[in-house]
Structure 1
Amino acid sequence: MKRQPARRFQDLIVWQKAHQFVLSVYRYTANFPKTEKYGLTSQFRRAAISIPANIAEGFKKKSSPDKARFFNIAQGSLEECRYYLILSHDLDYGENSAIQQEIQEVSKLLQAYISSILAPGS
C-alpha cells in the first residue's frame, strides 16, 4: 500500500517533530537566567523556530532543488541549536539530554526527507 503524499506541511512527520522540538526549546529556555533574555534565550528560540518554518516554506516549492535548499537551511538552524545545547549544558543552565534526543530525531528525519527529494525519479 502506497502512502498518500502530504497535502499540507503539517502532515509531514519531520515538521511535526521539529515543531515539538520548538515547544521543548521554549520550555527549556524559560528557566534560563533573566540576563540571557536578549542573548542565548533569544538566539536559541529563533534558531529552533527556523527549523519547522523552513520546512513549511520548502514544502510548497515546486522544484526538488528549491525544496532541498529550504530543508538544508533547516539543517543549518538545527546544527546551530545543537551548539546552543552544548553551550547551555556547559553553562549549567539545566539538564538537556531529552531535548538532545529530540534534535537527533529531527536531524535524521530531515536528512531522510532531503535524500528522498533528491533521489533520481522522485
Structure 2
Amino acid sequence: MAISDYRGLIVWQKAMDLVMGCHRLSQAFPDDESFGLTSQLRRAAVSIPANIAEVAGRGTRKAFTNHLWIANGSLRELETHVLIAQRLNDVAKEAVDETLSRTAEIGRLLVGLRRSLQRAKPASPSDES
C-alpha cells in the first residue's frame, strides 16, 4: 500500500497550511522566545507534514502507519505549545482557537487515514511488514 503522491493527500495539504499559520502565529511571540517556544512550536508543526511525506511511496503500510502515529504525536505537541503560548499571553484567544480547530481536523484526518491503511488488503507480502 504505497501512497506515492503524498501532496495529493488532504491531510498533508492541511498540515502544510497549519505550518504556515503557526509560523505567522509565532511571529507575535516575544524576541526572547526565539530559541525556546517559537522554535519548538515551529519544529512540531513542520514535523506533521514531514512525517506524512517521509515514508510515502517507499515504505510499507506498517511504516506509513507508524509515521502517521509520529505525526499525531507532533500534532499533540504543537497543541501543547500553542496552549502554553496562550497561558503566557503571547497570542490572542482567537488565534489559539483557530489553530486548535485546525489541529482537531488534522487529527481526525490522520485517524481516518490510519484506519483506511489498516483495513486495506496488502498489495504484496512485503507490504505487511
Contact 2:11 2:109 in 1 (8 A): yes
Out of 69, 74, 80, the residue aligned to residue 71 of structure 2 is 74
Displaced runs of 4 or more, over 6 A:
none
Instruction: Indicate the residue corresponding to 1:107 in structure 2.
Output: 107
Instruction: Indicate the residue corresponding to 1:14 in structure 2.
Output: 11
For residues 65 and 83 of structure 1, the distance between their equivalents in structure 2, rounded to whole angstroms, comes to 27
Q: TM-score, normalised by structure 1?
A: 0.90
Within a 5 Å distance, the mapping from 1:35-114 to structure 2 comes to: 35-95=32-92, 96-114=96-114
Contact 1:31 1:93 in 2 (8 A): yes
Count of aligned pairs = 118
Contact 1:58 1:68 in 2 (8 A): no
For residues 113 and 34 of structure 1, the distance between their equivalents in structure 2, rounded to whole angstroms, comes to 38
For residues 72 and 117 of structure 1, the distance between their equivalents in structure 2, rounded to whole angstroms, comes to 12
Q: Matched residues, percent identical?
A: 34
SS of match in other structure, 1:92: coil
CA-atom RMSD, angstroms? 1.5
Q: TM-score, normalised by structure 2?
A: 0.86
1:62 is displaced (CA, Å) by 3.3
Specify every segment of 5 or more residues in structure 2 that has no aligned partner in the other structure, as ranges.
123-129
**Aligned partner of 2:117: which letter?**
I
Inter-CA distance 116–60: structure 2 relative to 1 (3 Å threshold): same
Larger relative CO (CA 8 A, sep 6+): 1 or 2?
2
Instruction: Indicate the residue corresponding to 1:31 in structure 2.
Output: 28
For residues 55 and 28 of structure 2, the distance between their equivalents in structure 1, rounded to whole angstroms, comes to 32
1:86 is displaced (CA, Å) by 1.1
1:6 is displaced (CA, Å) by 5.9
